[in-house]
Amino acid sequence: MNLLTIKNLRNNEKFRIFVWTLFDFANTSYSIVVVTFLYAVYFKHTVANGEPIGDFYWSIGTSISMLITALISPVLGAIADYSAGKKRFLLFFTALCILSTFMLYFVGSGDLVSGLLLFILANIGFEAGLVFYDAFLPEITKESSYGRVSGYGFAMGYLGSFTTLLVVYPFIEREMIKETFPLSALVFLIFAMPLFLFLKDSRKSRTADESYFAIGFGRVTATLKNLKNYRNLVLFLVSYFFFIEGVNTVIYFSGNYASTTLSFSMKELIVFFMIVQTTAIIGSVIFGIISDSIGQKKSLVISLSIWIATILLAYFTSSVDSPLIELTASIFNLSPESDGHLLLSRYFYLVGLLAGMVMGATQSISRSLMSKLTPYDKKTEFFGFYSFFGKSSAILGPLVFGITSYLTGNQKYAILSIGIFFVVGLLFLGAVRDK
């Protein structure tokens, strides 16, 4: 491929969008294997030897990684805005995530410190990299298409998760769980490469005595002082802080919840997450198109309402003696004792269907609405604050879930608390103006 061909491809909007979405395909191989499913369950049952405190340790690792990412994201975003160096920062954090994920292969029973440390490094790489990845959105398409293009990205991401599950399934059948971690890292590496090869990232010059970090802190300070000029954006970020809290907690604990509270086998977990990924692909595309038609705010209201209903359904179907399970058993002439697990699994598959439908949609619509509300010349800096609110929210939610689970010894009470975050986020969203 010659330089002229590469230049023509870079100038083709459809190709730029495809390459950009391909990175979403790549990085979700990490999130599904490490964060949501295999390593999350492996950490609880193998590294923490199945002890209830495993949830607490997992929440600690999640909170630390999110806190670090939250603190550095606005500064890194401001630096990237000044230097137009998004791709360089994205490359660094992508490499950090891939290498740390590969090293999880060497974590075994009782290796709590190394298991948590590698997870923290991998998660910082993944989450910090999203600051720079998201900030490419305004550069690859026009504003009127933000919703659907963002939706395409999340749909491609969930397609990546689905594909990764198919790739690792033979290893799961043979109980070769550790081998899936380097395999996830390899998938991430291969499909992330096109973005670095083909997406253009212009650079600005700076004088020799200018420090990038001094510039970054200076720009962040100036933005904080002038936040009063961005009231609408601030209201959205506060709303985002709360509702993404709920989304992040669901992502980090759904696998543990299904395996611990509902006693799901690995095969049942595979079915559950395939349902989630399939409906997430559909939901991301559909809600992306809807948001461009009726507006991002209205679309978010719909998705958050579905989230609240989903959390309530999960709570009321968390044990065989719950009224909803007993009612269903009586309607279909089943026994809660002998058919209880079957009923629990079917209801949780329904929970997965609903959660998947709005999981990608909520994240996708939030990203496109953020792009519309953000000044163009401060896009990466504000996406740094977007990341700050998202990551800092993920400190509290998983921590509350982990502590509640540990103190009560039952995850069903922990899952109910997640709904509160969606309700509060919905209330703040009502004050946001969507032009």
CATH number at residue 395: 1.20.1250.20
37 part of a folded domain: yes
Is 80 exceeded by the pLDDT of residue 303?
Answer: yes
9 part of a folded domain: no
Note the pTM of the prediction, 2 decimals: 0.75
What range does the domain containing 45 cover?
Answer: 14-200+214-429
343 part of a folded domain: yes
> Distances from the Cα of 124 to the Cαs of 61, 92, 183, 186, in angstroms?
11, 11, 19, 18
420 part of a folded domain: yes
Mean per-residue pLDDT of the chain: 84
Question: Tell me, what's the pLDDT at 308?
Answer: 94
Q: How many domains does the chain have?
A: 1
44 part of a folded domain: yes
Question: Tell me, what's the pLDDT at 386?
Answer: 79
Measured CA to CA, the distance from residue 119 to residue 103 in angstroms comes to: 9
Question: Tell me, what's the pLDDT at 96?
Answer: 97
Question: Tell me, what's the pLDDT at 258?
Answer: 82
- Which of 2-6, 42-46, 411-415 bottoms out in mean pLDDT, i.e. has the lowest? 2-6
Q: What contacts 5, CB < 8 A, 6 or more positions away?
A: none
- Which of 39-43, 321-325, 346-350 bottoms out in mean pLDDT, i.e. has the lowest? 321-325
**Structure token digits, residue 334:** 């089943």
pLDDT interval class at 126 (50, 70, 90): very high
Element (H, E) at 290: helix 266-294
207 part of a folded domain: no
171 part of a folded domain: yes
209 part of a folded domain: no
Measured CA to CA, the distance from residue 313 to residue 167 in angstroms comes to: 31
